[in-house]
Amino acid sequence: MFKRVLIANRGEIACRIIRTLKSLGIASVAVYHHEDRSAPHVGMADQAVLLEADVPTAAYLDQAQLVDVARRTGADAVHPGYGFLSENADFAEGVTTAGLTFIGPEAHTIRLMGDKIRSRAFAAEHGLPVAPSVIEADAARFTARALEIGFPLLIKAAAGGGGKGIRIVRRAAELTDNLATAAAEATRYFGDARVYAERYIEQPRHIEVQIVGDSHGDVVHLFERECSLQRRYQKIVEESPAPNLPAGVRAALCEAAVSLARAARYLNAGTVEFVLAPGGEFYFLEMNTRLQVEHAVTECVLGLDLVAEQLRIAAGAPLSLKQEALAPRGHAIECRICAEEPEHDFRPATGRVAVLEPPRGPGVRFDGGIRVGQAITPAFDSMLAKLVVHGATRAEAAGRMESALAGLTLLGVPTNIDYLRRVVMHPEFLAGRLHTGFLGAHAAGLTPVAKPAEAAAAAIAALLTEPEFSQVAFEVPEPHATIGHWRN
């Protein structure tokens, strides 16, 4: 096993990895930009090293500097977490070239599965269902093929992720402009202008399967997660098991995920994502070659530590998990706590954490990476923490989540906490009738109820706009105008 591991990340996931390292007696090395100097992960680690960079995000993306820090601190492995360089094949290669272990899949696997176009072709070659799609570099041929498939279409960036570079096209007249916009976004976010299009399925579910593979050729699945509740193509609520999922569909999804992982000779933890149509047919979407934000719900229902399993696999040990011995227990739900304003189209928010009191109780887990006094800036992703609950049933888990959200106090920066409470208590959520357009479809029922003071202010504002009231009110003489210069 490793003696010292460098975490090439920050925030919640860095804290999460450090906790497991401590439990295994492995020393941890944190890295940080000057703006993060007082962040919790810096204080939690056995050693913390300042990264030099003018822009905060650039520090965590500086591959050469990260590898140099790992070597200087005596680390024998690097854990990339999620985001930043976690799916960067060049970084994985650079780590191994330096004589260190990359805790994740091999570089060639990241290159294969990280490219949406190549991974779709690979999946199709190995028997996974793939939605009808357009993959053409020539604009004229792209348009012709799109017209053959029909609309609506979903345009996506080949090197994309995180909801960037995605456009829905419902009519042929919208195709050219949306192609240009998607390509521009892909270039800006990923440095790769390639895009493709696939048949857009109305009101689909987003189901993903967690898989783990070792260096001895063994692969297991850790069942599925429901990730349909999204805003701007980014998840905010995840759960496991997926509600109202027929046993046959669940088995087929898990079997397809394992089949793909075996074909790719996948090493370490990864996730195979699918689009599930209302009729029950499903299509391969993509593969994430890293630990997912929502891995905690899988840990809760299976009673395991995925980061610990990642470490064992990276160290060359065989899987400690046997498929026949794995069985989900109960139900888990995760909510992503974000610095954003749901009432204003989820725009990111900034501020300084004034009060932070995580909830407590049976089956409640709070994975955070912030502290009181910490500045929340636009420099990083808006996610501040994850709130995870586990219950014997889905109904119990939903009730625990609502109570946990009510008990979570986070002041100083606008968050989506109250919005998430309304989501998990919505009748359609409780019934498990979920799809990727859920938040938009039920927007009216997810708006906050006006408080008495706010309602009174709105009523007064409405009254002032009434023509008759305004005329009478503003024709009344101004008292001070009738008493000259005298004042009391």
Give the helix ranges, DSSP H, for 285-360.
295-302, 306-314
The region that residue 162 occupies, defined by phi over 0 for left and psi between -120 and 50 for alpha, beta otherwise, is: left
Q: Do both 328 and 476 map to the same domain?
A: no
Instruction: Look at residue 305 in the predicted model and tell me its pLDDT.
Output: 98
Instruction: Look at residue 164 in the predicted model and tell me its pLDDT.
Output: 76
Per-residue model confidence as pLDDT tens digits over 107-151: 999 999 988 889 999 999 999 999 988 888 888 888 898 899 899
Q: Do both 231 and 182 map to the same domain?
A: no
Query: Is residue 297 pLDDT above 90, yes or no?
Result: yes
Q: Do both 159 and 215 map to the same domain?
A: no
| Distance, CA of 344 to CA of 167 (rounded, Å) | 21
Q: Do both 435 and 469 map to the same domain?
A: no
94 against 154, higher pLDDT: 94
Q: Is residue 184 domain-resident?
A: yes
- Phi/psi at 226 (5° precision): -90, 120
Choose among 368, 463, 461: nearest CA to 417: 368
Q: Is residue 340 domain-resident?
A: yes
Q: Do both 362 and 295 map to the same domain?
A: yes
Q: Do both 247 and 279 map to the same domain?
A: yes
Beta strands at 340-341 and 347-348: parallel, antiparallel or unpaired? antiparallel
- Phi/psi at 175 (5° precision): -65, -50
3-state SS, residue 328: coil
Query: Is residue 472 pLDDT above 60, yes or no?
Result: no
* Residue 301 and residue 240 in contact, taking contact as beta carbons nearer than 8 Å: yes
- DSSP E strands, 350-445: 351-352, 355-357, 364-368, 375-376, 383-391, 409-411
HEC secondary structure over 43-73: HHCCEEEECCCCCHHHHHCCHHHHHHHHHHC
Domain boundary among 172, 199, 226: 199
Instruction: Look at residue 413 in the predicted model and tell me its pLDDT.
Output: 98
Q: Is residue 390 domain-resident?
A: yes
Take residue 332 and report the two structure tokens written for it: 């888990």
Beta strands at 383-391 and 101-102: parallel, antiparallel or unpaired? unpaired
Find the helix packing angle between 247-263 and 116-125, rounded to 10°. Answer: 110
Query: Is residue 476 pLDDT above 80, yes or no?
Result: no
Q: Do both 261 and 386 map to the same domain?
A: yes
pLDDT band of 189, cuts 50, 70, 90: confident
Measured CA angle at 362 (ends 357, 363), to 5 deg: 90
Mean pLDDT of the chain: 92
Instruction: Look at residue 486 in the predicted model and tell me its pLDDT.
Output: 62
Q: Is residue 123 domain-resident?
A: no
Choose among 152, 80, 71: nearest CA to 114: 80
CATH number at 354 reads 3.30.470.20
Which domain does 476 fall in, by range? 452-482
| Distance, CA of 423 to CA of 412 (rounded, Å) | 23
CATH number at 48 reads 3.40.50.20
* Residue 132 and residue 139 in contact, taking contact as beta carbons nearer than 8 Å: no
- Enter the DSSP assignment of 159: T
Provide the domain count of the chain. Answer: 4
* Residue 151 and residue 167 in contact, taking contact as beta carbons nearer than 8 Å: no
pLDDT band of 160, cuts 50, 70, 90: confident
Burial (0-12, 13-18, 19+ Cβ within 10 Å), 347: exposed
Q: Do both 388 and 430 map to the same domain?
A: yes
Residues 189-208, mean pLDDT to the nearest whole number: 90
The model carries a pTM of 0.88
Q: Is residue 270 domain-resident?
A: yes
Per-residue model confidence as pLDDT tens digits over 375-395: 999 999 999 999 999 999 999
Per-residue model confidence as pLDDT tens digits over 236-286: 999 999 999 999 999 999 999 999 999 999 999 999 999 999 999 999 999
Instruction: Look at residue 450 in the predicted model and tell me its pLDDT.
Output: 63
Residues 337-342, mean pLDDT to the nearest whole number: 98
**Cis peptide, bond prior to residue 152, ω within 30 of zero:** yes
Instruction: Look at residue 468 in the predicted model and tell me its pLDDT.
Output: 58
| Distance, CA of 262 to CA of 246 (rounded, Å) | 25
Q: Is residue 247 domain-resident?
A: yes
Instruction: Look at residue 25 in the predicted model and tell me its pLDDT.
Output: 98
Q: Do both 399 and 419 map to the same domain?
A: yes
Q: How many CA atoms lie within 13 A of 335 on its CB side?
A: 28
pLDDT band of 478, cuts 50, 70, 90: low
Q: How far is CA 486 from CA 231, 456, 476, 480, in A?
A: 60, 35, 20, 9
**Cis peptide, bond prior to residue 241, ω within 30 of zero:** yes
At CB < 8 A and 24+ separation, what contacts does 48-55 make? 49/73, 55/379
- 26 CB contacts (<8 Å, ≥6 apart)? 1, 2, 3, 4, 5, 311
Q: Do both 278 and 409 map to the same domain?
A: yes
Q: 290 an active-site residue?
A: yes
Per-residue model confidence as pLDDT tens digits over 1-57: 999 999 999 999 999 999 999 999 999 999 999 999 999 999 999 999 999 999 999
Q: Do both 336 and 230 map to the same domain?
A: yes
| Distance, CA of 254 to CA of 284 (rounded, Å) | 12
Domain boundary among 174, 199, 224: 199
| Distance, CA of 417 to CA of 188 (rounded, Å) | 31
Q: Do both 379 and 434 map to the same domain?
A: yes
Q: Is residue 126 domain-resident?
A: no
Q: Is residue 118 domain-resident?
A: no
Take residue 149 and report the two structure tokens written for it: 């498939």
199 against 287, higher pLDDT: 287
Instruction: Look at residue 361 in the predicted model and tell me its pLDDT.
Output: 94
Catalytic option among 10, 16, 205, 290: 290
Take residue 50 and report the two structure tokens written for it: 């300042």
